[in-house]
Amino acid sequence: MTLIRALSSLARPFLGQLDPEFAHTLTIKALGAVGNAMPPEPDDPRLHLSAFGLEFPNPVGLAAGFDKNAQVTQAMLGFGFGFVEAGTVTPRPQDGNPKPRIFRLKEDRAVINRLGFNNQGHAAARKRLTALQDLPGIRGINIGANKDSADRVADYVHGLKELGPLASYVTVNISSPNTPGLRGLQNKAELETLLSALVETRSNLPRQMPLLLKIAPDLDEQARADIAEVVLAKGIDGVIVSNTTIARPTTLKSSQRNEPGGLSGAPLLSPSTEVLRDMRRLTQGRITLIGVGGISSGADAYAKFQAGATLVQLYTALTFEGPALVARIKRDLLQLLERDGLNSITQVVGQSAS
């Protein structure tokens, strides 16, 4: 893995000059060719934690969208992530939106994407996840609905049945801004219907894997309160806060800032952390939260734990900084624990929650 790390840091300036989607495709091909990595070096016990019945070696995960088709899950675990979430996967393969559809906002350390769930479908992901069953590591699967689906709830139910048994946990993604109408599933009545169907489906599966809901950062107070009420009532195990934003902060400098799609990276850090803090308050700390959005340092991750996250995920900063970022964040977290006289990352959770 040392060789791959060295090669990837050499390749990064080159990849940064390419069209972002082409650079990503090359990265997936290169990592795929390497195959399943050796397990990473063991993590410091101060970073270990257990959440929804799973033992995490460290709390820093790879967010959905990087490994849409579960092609490089083990390679990414090999870079030191505590868990990797593959997907979003829809029942049938789909191409997504016309290209170009990923924009690098370099000056803002951000990305805008409007991919629209381009993926190879359940069958391809199922085959790959099946091949990984005997390998170590926490692998989540993120499920979605086809753009032209006549019954979106049925698409999620199908995803849970097809892929859930092969994953450590399942994320229900109803917050991508790039599938028209998808975010409507966050509305109270629709969310109740969807989550009831999923909880019922899970109860008939041999294993009760954790079910997580991934939400948007663009939710008003009422919508957040409704979601908190429904997830608590339905017994959902966790909430991932958040997906990309359709907002465009006035601070953005890059010429591509007005491209339609979801914004991720540094400008999302503070708005997504505020929604996280609010979800912690609204769920009274009774549900496990995963903080995502704009993390590019140990301090950013620490702020998410303080706001109420038990685990964190990242994606965009990896594209700017390369895989050495993961080890750096974990090292920084240990230093922050030492600074605060703490001996476990779990002691930080919710410290600054309102």
Ligand X SMILES: Cc1cc2nc3c(=O)[nH]c(=O)nc-3n(C[C@H](O)[C@H](O)[C@H](O)COP(=O)(O)O)c2cc1C
Q: How far is the CB of 172 from ligand X (least distance, A)?
A: 10
Token pair for 287: 């549900």
Q: Which of 57, 80, 91, 265 binds ligand X (CB under 6 A)?
A: 265
Active site residue 176: yes
Question: Which is nearer to ligand X, 228 or 325 (by Cβ)?
Answer: 325
Distance between CA atoms of 303 and 35, rounded to whole angstroms?
34
Can you say how many angstroms the Cα of residue 41 is from the centroid of all Cα atoms in its chain?
Answer: 23
68 binds ligand X (CB under 6 A): yes
Identified binder of ligand X from the candidate list 60, 72, 111, 160, rule CB under 6 A: 111
Using the rule CB under 6 A, which residue among 115, 174, 209, 241 binds ligand X? 115
Catalytic residue among 176, 242, 264, 296: 176
Which residues have a Cβ under 8 Å from the Cβ of 82 and sit 6 or more positions away? 43, 47, 56, 57, 58, 59, 60, 61, 138, 311
Shortest reach from residue 94's CB to ligand X, in Å: 12
Q: How many residues line the site for ligand X (CB under 6 A)?
A: 27
Q: For the CB of residue 178, give the shortest distance to ligand X in the complex, in Å.
A: 8
- Which listed residue (40, 59, 65, 140) binds ligand X by CB under 6 A? 65
- Cβ–Cβ under 8 Å, residues 63 and 265: no
User: Residue by residue, what is the 3-state secondary structure of the chain?
Assistant: CHHHHHHHHHHHHHHCCCCHHHHHHHHHHHHHHHCCCCCCCCCCHHHCEEECCEEECCCEEECCCCCCCCCCHHHHHHCCCCEEEEEEECCCCECCCCCCCEEEEHHHCEEEECCCCCECHHHHHHHHHHHCCCCCCCEEEEECCCCCCCCHHHHHHHHHHHHHHHCCEEEEECCCCCCCCHHHHHCHHHHHHHHHHHHHHHHCCCCCCCEEEEECCCCCHHHHHHHHHHHHHHCCCEEEECCCECCCCCCCCCCCCCCCCEEEEHHHHHHHHHHHHHHHHHCCCCCEEEEECCCCCHHHHHHHHHHCCCEEEECHHHHHHCCHHHHHHHHHHHHHHHHCCCCCHHHCCCCCCC
| Residue from 292, 326, 337, 345 binding ligand X (CB under 6 A) | 292
Site string for ligand X, 8-37 (x = CB under 6 A): ------------------------------
Which listed range, 40-48, 59-67, 301-309, 331-339, lies at the site for ligand X (CB under 6 A)?
Answer: 59-67
Contact positions with ligand X (CB under 6 A) in 311-330: 314-317
Q: Give the shortest CB-316-to-ligand X separation in angstroms.
A: 3
Does 102 bind ligand X (CB under 6 A)? Our answer is yes
210 binds ligand X (CB under 6 A): no
Among 69, 71, 97, 113, binds ligand X (CB under 6 A): 113
Residues within window 173-192 making contact with ligand X, judged by CB under 6 A = 173, 176
- Of the two residues 46 and 71, which places its CB atom closer to ligand X in the complex? 71
Q: How far is the CB of 83 from ligand X (least distance, A)?
A: 13
Residue 301 sits in the site that holds ligand X (CB under 6 A): no
Q: Is 71 in the site for ligand X (CB under 6 A)?
A: no
Nearer to ligand X among residue 102 and residue 209 (C-beta): 102
Interface residue list for ligand X (CB under 6 A): 63-65, 68, 87-88, 102, 111, 113, 115, 142, 173, 176, 214, 243-244, 264-265, 268, 292-295, 314-317
Active site residues per annotation: 176
